[in-house]
A and B are shown apart, each in its own frame.
Chain A
Amino acid sequence: MLDLIVIGAGLTGLVAANAAAKAGLKVKVIAQGLGALHWSAGTVDVLGYYPDERTLVEQPLHTVRTIKARPRHPYALLDETGLKDALQHFALLTKAIGLPYLGASNADANLSLPSPVGAARPTFLAPLAQLGGDLGSGIPSHGAPMLIVGLRGMRDFFPELIAENLNKQGHRARAAFLPLDLITDRRDSNTVQLANGLDDPARRSKLAAELKKLVQPGERVGLPAILGMTEHAAVMKELQAATGAAVFEIPTLPPSVPGIRLNTALRRCIQELGVRVEVNMRVAGFHAENGRIAWVETETSARPLKHRAAKFLLATGGLLGGGINTDHTGRVWEVVFNLPLAMPAQRGEWFRPGFLDPAGHPIFSGGVPVNRQFQPADANGSPAYANLWAAGGVLAHADSIRERSLEGIAIATGIAAAQHVIHASNGDDSRP
């Protein structure tokens, strides 16, 4: 008998499964897809704008304490040090799996990284490869002028646009191009194919040689985030050695190579801990007895499969991840257990008229309300099911994209929910 089934293989599900497996629980992950990491910048955004979109957060761990003013926000449900501990845990974990995530040298401050349009993204932890682009004072090489290099013909990266906007914001930057056929023979390449291509030592040597000709002394070099997939560390090392400059990645339009690297590394890590990760499994039904989930049933090509476990952790994501769905009548539902939701009452209240409205769109703050143990619960805090927990994007009361807290909420609530599961398991007679 499994101790825990985690439903969802995004960042939330993977860190939760890792925490539970490390504590000795027998864990399985089932998921319909692979989560939102494949679309994201691959950084850990903890809190970028709060309490509204006009207010930049400089020290998220400090600002997050004021979130108690919104007692139902996922961060407000964490222990005093819950967020900080979770982020430290994540930093150590990524170091251990060879894809280290780091923050600013002032450990409480946000980084400020160039976006694919050259805006400054507030984020808390970044993969080592993105760190060198910091526009604030978070890294030693800060303030160095930037050379943004694109590949002529690559459709998902525009170095001139990035450089122009960086200059407008007072950062010194210039743009340059290299030919795309330097690194690929394909007629049609997306970012993943280009990254895979650079795993080939011959290709990356060619890139390093051409790059060297462009760089002027004192410059740091920004490139699209395609610098190798499995050989990423070696690619970075070779480019830095050849150019003698700090080389950094700028994320691109999806698919996100940094996100895929993280997803792959985390999956490998939990699989080494004995966790099975089964994807392409949509939960189509469940059975509850005496207020507990007995099993969930997934659709597969051949026949429905029943998955039994002592406990279940819902990490299916929100409207983006697919954990919550909607229809034209204005109905909104949680797709696995049909849990009660906190949502605007009618379709007419879902949106505001401006796409970039600083207040965001009400529907995106909707989700599953949970109690302080991260169990889906009613207004009195009574759990919907005694053995069900929830974490990540499926949770109500935060618009994680507007406030730039997507990965912070995923990691912190994923770990917190796993800890509550572990805690509950310790006194559990049903455990073998």
Chain B
Amino acid sequence: MNQIETEILVIGGGATGTGIAWDAALRGFSVVLVEKRDLTHGTTGRYHGLLHSGGRYVVQDPQSAAECIAENRILRKTHTHCIEDTGGFFVVTPEDEGDYPDQFKAACAKTGVPCNELSIVQARKREPLLNPRVSRVFEVPDGAADSFLATHATAQAAQIAGARILNYHEVVSLMVKGSDSNRRVVGARVRDVARGEDVEIRADMTINASGAWAGLVAKTAGITVNVIPGKGTMLAMNHRVCNTVLNRCKAPSDGDIIVPIHTIAVIGTTDERVSDPENLTIEPWEVELLLEEGDKLIPGISQARVLRAWAGVRPLYQEGYAGESRQATRAFALLDHKTRDGVSGMLSIIGGKWTTFRLMAEKTLDKACEQLGARKPCATASTRVPGVEQGHYWLGHRLHEVEENRLQSELVCECELVTRAMLENAVRNNPTLTLDDLRRDVRLGMGPCQGGFCTYRAAGILQEMSKDEGRRTASRDGDEVWNVAYLQSPAHNRASDFRPPTSDLGNPNLLLRDFLQERWKGLTPILWGRQLKQERLDELIYLSLMNADHLPDENLTSPMTEFWNMNRQDAKSTKENQ
């Protein structure tokens, strides 16, 4: 079995885990991060993309609010190109009665969240589709964050500082030494799911940053951690109906926010306690509710085309808490298992939100330093990740670059303006196992046709690459590169570089089938009207024209195939029961 020795082992490749790897590497530790799927496959890649100003929490949770505004200011410097400076409004609609708005204004002042009350005329001038019946509007420094890019950029920064990032490496079990009150976690046995090999990673300190999965990881060492999985469902609308984040000015509730992100707008979210962080089904009532609530912010939004629905699971944690997940604290919890459970060598970091990932990493490493007897100060607040010199992203950045450089002929995804060179460089410059990994890298398949045209093109291009360049058979160890700073930029990807691919490019028929199924999973809750017509066109293309359901290699599967087919078995058994 392969063995790796490191000082810090980080479990989880979301915002928190990559932030911890970055922080630890900057402090000079040797670091290995393992993620069971692709980076951001968990909650980080499934949230609405809000960079909090803190406004959402000023009344209920002032400490979270203060943390948010502080981190908001830091991330705008350290992760500039991963953020769009949209600003945010808290608006009072006719449904939002009571004295909450006054409380809100006072609490903003108290917690230090900049808040400027606008006239309705000013607000509507900026957001013409905003409900004309709003009575008050407060402006706050919310923003929109590209959580895929930010996490990839953090991973690259961590790697530059010496960290190793191993995706598609799943923890089988934590390794524990000693007995009774003298137990110590000494690392983890992980499985390289792409190769089916186990690896033993020995570490001085293991940090469990696996979010909603933290309880499952801790359990392998006999430690009980009760994460409250709070499912949040979101809808992606076909149009960017607003340029400013729109929040309802009331206590947090379902469907209280619309975030403009890239070319779309996201209505979020519901909040429901669930038992399993994996198999999240989206209920029709959730979709109805989000559209209904969305109409209160932007009348008529429910008639617009919905591209997709998805759910993420908040890793909420409150020691001993058993109530509703909406009421659980949004603050994060750092569990020191030495004092809590008598197990040394391991910390768990749970809860929090994307906006505070850097702070969570800092607090976690402070604790780790204390336990390891190291004196190494945090450097993340003043270190910029690669790519910040591009400035904040903005709506037209890709179109502008495509037009300036006349790259129209290179587009393989017309919806999201992905060029062939962007796709090829994404394959070469970070580990790729599925087309879904490329979606997270360059937004492939995220637009209105939901992969209708680009799935075939991407499978064809990857097949040509594997033919031209040959498949790599050597061990992947140590060879991953996350060179992502300019991955999203058509202008910086004029020609693909000739670095050999860092991963098995896989079977094109499998890539195609998997991605079609992955896209379908997020479509069924919202297929009606024009999006249903679009989906029937996609069927015409993949069944009638391509005959893709009768391709060779029918029985091949990837580590993701089962995940994307997860609801199938359940649905079948429900049907049989009827």
Tell me which residues across on chain A come within 8 A of B533, comparing CB atoms: 319-320, 322
Among B87-95, B166-174, B451-459, the one that faces the other chain is B451-459
A119/B550 contact (C-beta < 8 A), A328-B287, A348-B284, A354-B520 known? yes
CB pair B544 A45 closer than 8 Å: yes
Among A21-29, A164-172, A206-214, the one that faces the other chain is A164-172
Q: Among the listed A39, A40, A155, A330, which residue makes an inter-chain contact with B412, where contact means beta carbons less than 8 Å apart?
A: A155
CB pair A168 B552 closer than 8 Å: yes
Residue A295 CB within 8 A of the other chain: no
Residue A299 CB within 8 A of the other chain: no
Residue B513 CB within 8 A of the other chain: yes
Q: Among the listed A121, A161, A320, which residue makes an inter-chain contact with B460, where contact means beta carbons less than 8 Å apart?
A: A161
Among A1-9, A61-69, A88-96, A398-406, the one that faces the other chain is A398-406
A355/B517 contact (C-beta < 8 A), A161-B508, A325-B529 known? yes
CB pair A354 B517 closer than 8 Å: yes
Q: How many A-B pairs fall under 8 Å by CB?
A: 160
CB pair A401 B536 closer than 8 Å: yes
Tell me which residues across on chain A come within 8 A of B516, comparing CB atoms: 355-356
Tell me which residues across on chain B come within 8 A of A45, comparing CB atoms: 544
From residue A88, how far is it (CB to closest CB) to chain B in Å?
23
A189/B284 contact (C-beta < 8 A), A40-B540, A41-B544, A354-B565 known? no
CB pair A320 B520 closer than 8 Å: no
Residue A117 CB within 8 A of the other chain: yes
Complex: chain A residue closest to B288, CB-CB: A328
CB pair A40 B545 closer than 8 Å: yes
CB pair A158 B537 closer than 8 Å: no
* 458-513 of chain B: CB within 8 A of chain A: 459-461, 463-464, 467, 508-509, 512-513
Q: Among the listed B408, B546, B565, which residue makes an inter-chain contact with A115, where contact means beta carbons less than 8 Å apart?
A: B546
* 407-455 of chain B: CB within 8 A of chain A: 408-409, 411-412, 420, 453
Taken together as a complex, chains A and B put the C-alpha atoms of A250 and B43 apart, in Å, by: 43
Residue B370 CB within 8 A of the other chain: no
- Beta-carbon contacts of A38-57 to B below 8 Å, as 1s and 0s? 01110001000000010000
Tell me which residues across on chain A come within 8 A of B389, comparing CB atoms: none
Residue B539 CB within 8 A of the other chain: yes
Residue B335 CB within 8 A of the other chain: no
Tally B residues with Cβ within 8 Å of A. 59
CB pair B464 A121 closer than 8 Å: no
Tell me which residues across on chain A come within 8 A of B125, comparing CB atoms: none
A327/B529 contact (C-beta < 8 A), A45-B544, A188-B409 known? yes
Complex: chain A residue closest to B533, CB-CB: A319
Q: Interface centre among A156, A350, A401, A404, by most B CB within 10 Å?
A: A401
CB pair A254 B541 closer than 8 Å: yes
Q: Taking chain A's interface residues, is the majority helix, strand, or loop, or is none over half, making it mixed? A: loop
CB pair A41 B545 closer than 8 Å: yes
Residue B549 CB within 8 A of the other chain: yes
Residue A297 CB within 8 A of the other chain: no
Residue B375 CB within 8 A of the other chain: no
Residue B553 CB within 8 A of the other chain: yes
- Beta-carbon contacts of A125-136 to B below 8 Å, as 1s and 0s? 000000000000
Residue B532 CB within 8 A of the other chain: yes
A319/B457 contact (C-beta < 8 A), A355-B517, A356-B513, A356-B549 known? no
Residue B548 CB within 8 A of the other chain: yes
Taken together as a complex, chains A and B put the C-alpha atoms of A156 and B414 apart, in Å, by: 12
* 381-409 of chain B: CB within 8 A of chain A: 406, 408-409
From residue A152, how far is it (CB to closest CB) to chain B in Å?
10
Taken together as a complex, chains A and B put the C-alpha atoms of A45 and B547 apart, in Å, by: 12
Complex: chain A residue closest to B572, CB-CB: A353
Taken together as a complex, chains A and B put the C-alpha atoms of A39 and B452 apart, in Å, by: 12
Q: Among the listed A158, A165, A254, A256, which residue makes an inter-chain contact with B551, where contact means beta carbons less than 8 Å apart?
A: A165
A347/B284 contact (C-beta < 8 A), A40-B545, A41-B545, A168-B552 known? yes
Tell me which residues across on chain B come within 8 A of A319, comparing CB atoms: 532-533, 536
Tell me which residues across on chain B come within 8 A of A40, comparing CB atoms: 540, 544-545
From residue A165, how far is it (CB to closest CB) to chain B in Å?
6
Q: Interface centre among A39, A40, A115, A328, by most B CB within 10 Å?
A: A328
Taken together as a complex, chains A and B put the C-alpha atoms of A165 and B556 apart, in Å, by: 14
CB pair B464 A320 closer than 8 Å: no
CB pair A356 B568 closer than 8 Å: no
A165/B457 contact (C-beta < 8 A), A120-B550, A254-B541 known? no
From residue A261, how far is it (CB to closest CB) to chain B in Å?
16
Residue B524 CB within 8 A of the other chain: yes
Q: Among the listed B459, B527, B529, which residue makes an inter-chain contact with A161, where contact means beta carbons less than 8 Å apart?
A: B459
Complex: chain A residue closest to B513, CB-CB: A356
Complex: chain B residue closest to A330, CB-CB: B528
Residue A216 CB within 8 A of the other chain: no
Tell me which residues across on chain A come within 8 A of B549, comparing CB atoms: 53, 356, 358
Taken together as a complex, chains A and B put the C-alpha atoms of A122 and B539 apart, in Å, by: 16
From residue A318, how far is it (CB to closest CB) to chain B in Å?
8
Q: Interface centre among A253, A355, A357, A401, by most B CB within 10 Å?
A: A355
Tell me which residues across on chain B come within 8 A of A115, comparing CB atoms: 545-548
Q: Among the listed A39, A53, A406, which residue makes an inter-chain contact with B541, where contact means beta carbons less than 8 Å apart?
A: A39
Taken together as a complex, chains A and B put the C-alpha atoms of A319 and B521 apart, in Å, by: 20
Q: Among the listed A251, A347, A356, which residue makes an inter-chain contact with B548, where contact means beta carbons less than 8 Å apart?
A: A356
From residue B116, how far is it (CB to closest CB) to chain A in Å?
36
Residue A303 CB within 8 A of the other chain: no
From residue B155, how far is it (CB to closest CB) to chain A in Å?
30
28 pairs of residues in contact across A and B, judged by CB atoms under 8 Å: A36-B540, A39-B537, A115-B547, A117-B508, A119-B546, A119-B547, A120-B547, A120-B550, A121-B547, A153-B409, A155-B411, A156-B457, A158-B464, A160-B460, A161-B463, A161-B464, A165-B551, A322-B533, A325-B529, A327-B528, A328-B526, A353-B571, A356-B517, A356-B542, A357-B568, A358-B549, A364-B539, A401-B540
Give 4 A-B pairs besides A158-B460, A326-B528, A354-B568 with Cβ atoms closer than 8 angstroms: A155-B420, A161-B460, A353-B565, A364-B536
Interface residue ranges, A against B (CB under 8 Å): 36, 39-41, 45, 53, 115-122, 153, 155-156, 158, 160-161, 164-165, 168-169, 186-189, 251, 253-254, 256, 318-320, 322, 325-328, 330, 347-348, 350-358, 363-364, 401-402, 404, 406
